[in-house]
Structure 1
């Protein structure tokens, strides 16, 4: 049952909008030599740390901090910077500069904890990855569906690992607004689509067509994923998943806000790309940017009548 009512104050912090929009692109950033998007890889890193015995709070801070730093740095991450010859201090300085470039709107106390996670990164023992990690990375999301209507597919689709990771990061960042425990929200989000590791996603339409079979199927396929975890972690994850059914708790509100925002921003980025203009690209984003040959570039484009 919802505890939110109309006129009871803002349901979400508008100041975080720009950050959440920008971080969403981590579902679409890929790099040579690395399999999957940044979001997909951070999802796997998070579960590897959890199965390796790391404290969930430390994992939530580590993965969220990495995601926020990557909003501008993309895959110029600690692994690459170290391989390129930078020492730990220089690496941390760069990661923190990327983090600071986008996090002015994050609650100061949380921002300090996340920054500290970049300054002194934890060394997590990586456990074996449960099968559901790869399964969720290979399971596309349904697109836009509505009972009684044909689906709207927007290519390329995101996968469930990317969605779960993004909701987890959003949930941590949103938690101070709702006075929620960020670790609980993070774990709930990382595990909220366990059923889709085995269950193909036919969206709301398909779920309604399953009728009375929906909940038993979801329960069974969720349990398959839970059974891949050792008993202690399984109990922790099950406890976190307890916030998923409604918005009656602060953690439930933080999770559902994150889930809703990610679902809509995923579609919004398709619309944003479709409405992009050359004025934005050339004038605002300076595609042909300042440098020793900019004058020549401008003349080339003018004489070629491009655009």
Structure 2
């Protein structure tokens, strides 16, 4: 994957399809599990960080799990162990899931992510901070513009899901920008701290707050930061220093990840709305090959479906 330069492309087109697919982790749920995969990975990441696991380890572990889940969904390490697979068998399946989607990921980073699945690190679980649950309960604003009514797209994503996906995107984009992936990951996880307390009224609401906006954002962000003990609090605060601009490699990687996720979230709704039966039955083989396919095809024809 070509690296960022001041005169060339400012984003890696080769990663587009992977980023689209990873965004769907906001929408994948399973019986017995609270929230989407993205929401749960967000909580796992913060639990590990609070428990004292090195941020670099957490960034690689959560990103690797997200890549494997893109195709395997909740067929994760815990499930595979529960149904009797050994550690080597389970890790081979998870690596295969990662490999199915990671062909365009920077080779060195891809190997580090594969290693995180081959030999899972010992994550030290700590208490999940209160802001994690608050962000999971806080819906995103939808499409807003000052002077115009908002466009709501249901179901809305929540802020935990958005932050997790931005953090994972940031890790994958970091080699292109020559950025430190751990810093970008932490910045992504923490960039909406203020919305743990502050309802999201979008761009419209922010403009109506006027000069009060940034003091309110700072105050609400500090409430979340105060839930973290040192030295993690200072580590996260330092990572958040890249948020205001694109003057650093880490700032560019973060803002690329953030803008990509915001727009792909809307594109997902439009993609679903424009889905056709030709795609579902033809390209995606909803009625797929098997011993009864011929019979099923005749049933659909006789029922005039679609």
TM-score bracket for this pair, using the shorter chain length = over 0.9
1:16 aligned partner: 15
- What SS does the aligned partner of 1:61 have? helix
Offset from partner CA, 1:95-144 (integer Å, 9 cap, x none): 00000000000000000000000000012121001100000000000000
Q: Which residue of 1 aligns with 2:38?
A: 39
Deviation at 1:289, TM superposition (A): 0.2
SS of 1:124 mapped into structure 2: coil
Q: Name the residue aligned to 2:62.
A: 63
| Correspondence for 1:153 | 152
Q: Which residue of 2 aligns with 1:255?
A: 254
Where in structure 2 are the equivalents of 1:143-292 lying within 5 Å? Answer: 143-292=142-291
Partner of 1:142: 141
* Residue 8 of structure 1, CA deviation: 2.1
Count of residues in Structure 1 that have an aligned counterpart in Structure 2? 303
SS of the residue corresponding to residue 101 of structure 1 reads helix
Q: CA RMSD in A?
A: 1.0
TM-score by length of structure 1 reads 0.98
2:109 matches 1:92: no
1:47: Cα distance to partner? 0.1
CA shift, 1:168, in A, is 0.2
Write the distance in 1 (CA, Å) between the matches of 2:263 and 2:78.
32
Cα shift at 1:297:
0.2
Q: Please give the secondary structure, in 2, of the residue aligned with 1:267.
A: helix
Specify the SS of the correspondent of 2:279.
helix
SS at match of 2:101: coil
Give the whole-Å Cα distance in 2 for the aligned partners of 1:254 and 1:84.
39
Give 2:110's aligned residue.
111
- Cα distance, 1:9 vs. partner? 1.2
In structure 1, C-alpha distance between the alignment counterparts of 2:278 and 2:24, rounded to whole Å: 22
Using the size of structure 2 for normalisation, the TM-score is 0.98
